[in-house]
């Protein structure tokens, strides 16, 4: 008998994001539900995120991913930052297994066939994470490549993941959502009849374009402002983001710091009088000074409990 069903089946999502340096790839990843980073490039060190430390080999990477799959409630989203570095570990594994110093020492076809088969093991491990109910987010750098269509004259530049030609197609096929992150620049003509680029708004591109790779299975618009809000509905029930004051209160509770201790320090720094209650602090002050400097503020208070500041 055929077991036929109908309707959307809720599943965890497989996501790949890529883009040039500084566009905000890691910051976006940190916005995903309960992110846990395998931070191979240590790009999240200035961010308050959970991470798995000490991954330096391909074997350790695969083992860590499988352990996440087998550990309930350790996270809701596993982030691997970056795929480029993961591929480097895979190359090292191939070289070690074949007792060679460089993958280029092997015949070209054989070497990269083995590399593709090796890298597939990481994607298979990521599928086990997905099967356990956790989203998987893979981050990659971007590179620009000259592209020539065989049936057209001329060539043009296009953005791609910074992966080998054997690994990149595997990753693109594997994911449900491939987002290209970039700065949107508009070219205008000046009064002197020259052109210049203006703008720089950060954009997530969601669909294929001759100038970049992207795809989605969720009927997203072609462009979204960079941020989790535009794609949050894809990932089910996401808790409402805390307000700046709620975030401050949460950090105070986590570190065991009282209102009076904060008010004394803020007064000593010359911002507000000591009798100004935290609930009366302007939102811009909480977002612009207290939260960004929380690590130092908490350390000052906890290390000097009797200090008048």
Residue 8 covered by a domain: no
Residue 199 clears pLDDT 60, i.e. is over it = no
Residues 210 and 257 in one domain: no
Q: How far apart are CA 273 and CA 130, in angstroms?
A: 51
Determine the pLDDT at residue 43. Answer: 84
5 within domain boundaries: no
Domain boundary among 234, 262, 295: 234
Instruction: Considering only CA atoms, give the Rg of the chain.
Output: 24
Mean pLDDT of the residues in the chain:
88
Residue 126 sits in a domain whose CATH number is 3.40.50.300
Max Cα separation, the chain? 77
- Do 157 and 265 share a domain, yes or no? no
Which whole number is the average pLDDT over 188-194? Answer: 58
Domain boundary among 234, 252, 281: 234
Distance from C-alpha of 94 to C-alpha of 215, rounded to nearest angstrom: 30
Domain that includes residue 283, residue range: 244-303
Q: Evaluate whether residue 197 is within a structural domain.
A: yes
Cα 59 from chain centre? 22
Question: 206, 234, 262: which is the final residue of a domain?
Answer: 234
Q: Which of the 8 DSSP states describes residue 87?
A: H
Confidence class of residue 239 from pLDDT cuts 50, 70 and 90?
Answer: very low
Phi, psi of 284 (to 5 degrees): -65, -35
- Model confidence pLDDT, tens digit, residues 219-233: 999 999 999 999 999
Top mean-pLDDT range of 5-9, 197-201, 235-239, 271-275:
271-275
Q: Cα separation of 170 and 76, whole Å?
A: 24
Average pLDDT over residues 35-40: 96
Distance of alpha carbon 301 from alpha carbon 309, whole angstroms: 9
143 and 74 in a common domain: yes
pLDDT at 185: 72
Does the pLDDT at position 163 exceed 80? yes
pTM of the model: 0.71
Element housing 138 (H / E)? strand 135-147
Q: For residues 249 and 223, state if they share a domain.
A: no
Model pLDDT, residue 110: 82
Total domain count for the chain?
2
Whether 116 and 163 map to the same domain: the answer is yes
Listed range (8-22, 75-89, 175-189, 267-281) with the worst mean pLDDT? 175-189
**What is the rounded CA–CA span in Å between residue 62 and residue 86?**
10
Q: Give the whole-angstrom CA distance, residue 155 versus residue 161.
A: 19
Residues 248, 209 within the same domain: no
Tell me, yes or no, whether 113 and 40 share the same domain. yes
Query: What is the reported pLDDT for 15?
Result: 98
Confidence of residue 106 (pLDDT cuts 50, 70, 90): confident
Task: Flag whether pLDDT at 281 surpasses 60.
Answer: yes
Closest CA to 212 of 138, 162, 150: 162
Preceding omega of 82 cis (within 30 degrees of 0):
yes
């Amino acid at each position: 008998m055929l077991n036929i069903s109908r309707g959307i089946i809720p599943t965890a999502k497989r996501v790949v994001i890529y883009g040039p340096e500084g566009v905000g790839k890691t910051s976006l990843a940190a916005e995903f539900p309960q992110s846990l980073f395998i931070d191979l490039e240590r790009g999240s060190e200035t961010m308050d995120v959970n991470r798995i430390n000490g991954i330096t080999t391909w074997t350790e990477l695969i083992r860590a991913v499988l352990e996440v799959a087998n550990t309930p409630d350790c996270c809701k989203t596993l982030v691997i930052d970056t795929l480029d570095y993961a591929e480097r570990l895979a190359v090292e594994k191939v070289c070690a297994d074949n007792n060679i110093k460089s993958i280029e020492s092997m015949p070209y076809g054989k070497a990269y066939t083995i590399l593709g088969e090796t890298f597939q093991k990481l994607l298979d491990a990521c599928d086990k994470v997905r099967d356990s109910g956790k989203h998987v987010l893979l981050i990659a750098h971007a590179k620009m490549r000259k592209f020539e269509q065989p049936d057209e004259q001329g060539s043009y530049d296009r953005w791609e993941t910074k992966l080998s030609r054997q690994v990149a197609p595997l990753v693109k096929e594997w994911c449900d959502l491939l987002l290209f992150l970039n700065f949107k620049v508009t070219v205008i003509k000046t009064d002197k009849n020259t052109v210049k680029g203006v703008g720089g708004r950060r954009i997530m591109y969601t669909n294929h374009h001759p100038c970049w790779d992207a795809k989605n299975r969720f009927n997203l618009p072609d462009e979204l402002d960079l941020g989790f809000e535009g794609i949050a509905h894809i990932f089910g029930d996401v808790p409402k983001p805390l307000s700046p004051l709620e975030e401050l209160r949460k950090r105070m509770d986590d570190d065991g710091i009282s209102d009076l201790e904060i008010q004394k320090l803020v007064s000593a720094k010359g911002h507000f009088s000591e009798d100004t209650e935290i609930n009366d602090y302007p939102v811009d002050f909480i977002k612009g000074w207290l939260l960004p400097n929380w690590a130092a503020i908490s350390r000052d208070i906890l290390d000097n409990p009797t200090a008048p500041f």
